[in-house]
Amino acid sequence: MQSPSLQSWREEEYQPPPRSILYSLDPISQQGLGAESLRSYFIRLCRAHGVTPRRMVREVLASGAPGFRSYAGSRFLATGAMTINGLGSVAEAFAARLEALCARRDLTPLTLNPWAVLLPSNSAGAVYRKPRWCPLCIAEGRKTEAEIHQPLVWSMAVVAVCPVHHTPLEHSCGSCGRRQPALPRIPDLGRCAHCGEWLDRSHTAKPGNASDVQRWVAAASVEMTLAGFPVPGIQPLSRFRTLLLKAIDTYAGGVRAHFCRQIGLSPWALTKWLGEGRRPSLPQLLHVAYALDFQPAALFRLPSGQTPDFNIRALPGKLFHRAPKPLLSPDDVRRLKLSLQAAGEQGLTVSSICRQESLKRSAIKYWLPEECAHTSKLAKVAAESASKRSRSEKEDLAHAAFKQIAGEGAYPSRRRMEDKLKQSGTSLLNGVAREAYAQDRALLIGDCDVSMANVNLDQK
């Protein structure tokens, strides 16, 4: 006799869960380190499928979303892919695309995007420009044979030490000394992308070598990565402003300038947040949180109508030091403007001017943003034109080599083509030359088939 549950079950009522295109890997969350970063999740996903990150972006993520092809470029893979973990459109696009492909709904909290309701998308100190890691954590992962991953807190620029071992985070290989690309060619988070050695080698990693402020920042950042989305019905930005107003009334009698001096903020910081409606950067938020002794994650977790308890204390120094703005004289600016104009006419890039003037790209862009954009546009047009010329030259060389070999009465095999093209400085390894050779070979084989058919007809 069937049970009541089986009797009531109908096959047509059963709806199986939708199949995912990619493996639905579970994000890793480790005690003390917080949530895994989306970049780490993506690299582990590539490793599970046995493909390179570049190919995964170009052939899978870009399928049905053509805009993702721009993320398969060398510059993005080397440095730009760190923004996958941060705030803004790149993190949002990768999280949404991977959630759709993996049939998951929990990948956005692997970025800092849940904090976009409080922090600006271009917040300083949000994401470090290169991958960083704790050699001691990787060494422990090897001993326990756990899958190597990189938590989100390691990619936050304000965090200087590992939250577990309190040792400075490394950003270069202990064997070859080279920094790691944001998305490595081989999807392995535990080994150097250049020499292949394990990243647990270090000459400076010693547990406990961190100040109290560094430890607090690391622990608070871990809590931020675990906060997820705000409790429904609350607005963290309004709660942050309410907390500031209460602290100003409590400790400075309502005088904002006096309160700024007490906690080490610039006098105009509160005017921007409370008067102009601007949002605090991540270092500023942590600065205020440390000075008032509360956890930033509490802005997300407390029920509506409540603000975190606070107690004022002094902060010994800044949490994050931004590079000073470049100071250029009017003559230097005029000279740079002329250099950019000349570079645009010659098809040169802004980077070439940076090397010539020994300045960073951000410095030139800060003073001459419109000229930089115009020069970059002209350089792109020149590069596309040069690419078309190079492609045409390679095609002509391949066609000429094929025609010359066939004219000598020999079959244009790959070896003969390689020998002939080598004299011109190219090879069939070049995709354009290889395509031209394939076209000529197909025409030759087609002509031979037609000739043989005519011979057979004549014999009949």
Task: Spell out the domain ranges in the chain.
Answer: 19-229, 230-322, 330-448
- Helix, strand, coil percentages (3-state) for the chain, rounded to 5, are 55, 5, 40
The per-residue pLDDT for 365 is: 82
What pLDDT does 451 receive? Answer: 52
Burial class (CB in 10 A: 0-12, 13-18, 19+), 227: buried
Residue 107 CB coordination number (10 Å): 21
Give the pair of three-digit tokens for residue 416: 């003969």
Task: Mark out the alpha helices in 408-430 (DSSP H runs).
Answer: 414-422
Query: Rounded distance, CA 336 to CA 346, Å?
Result: 15
CA distance 309 to 321: 28
Amino acid at 59: E
Give per-residue pLDDT as tens, 64-102.
887 787 888 877 888 888 999 999 889 999 999 999 999
According to the model, what pLDDT value does residue 219 have?
93
Residues 260/235, Cβ–Cβ less than 8 Å? no
Residue type, 386: A
CATH architecture assignment, domain 230-322: Orthogonal Bundle (1.10)
List of the chain residues with pLDDT < 70: 1-14, 203-206, 316-325, 447-460
Q: Can you tell me which residue has the tokens 């080490």? A: 264
pLDDT given for residue 420 in this prediction: 86
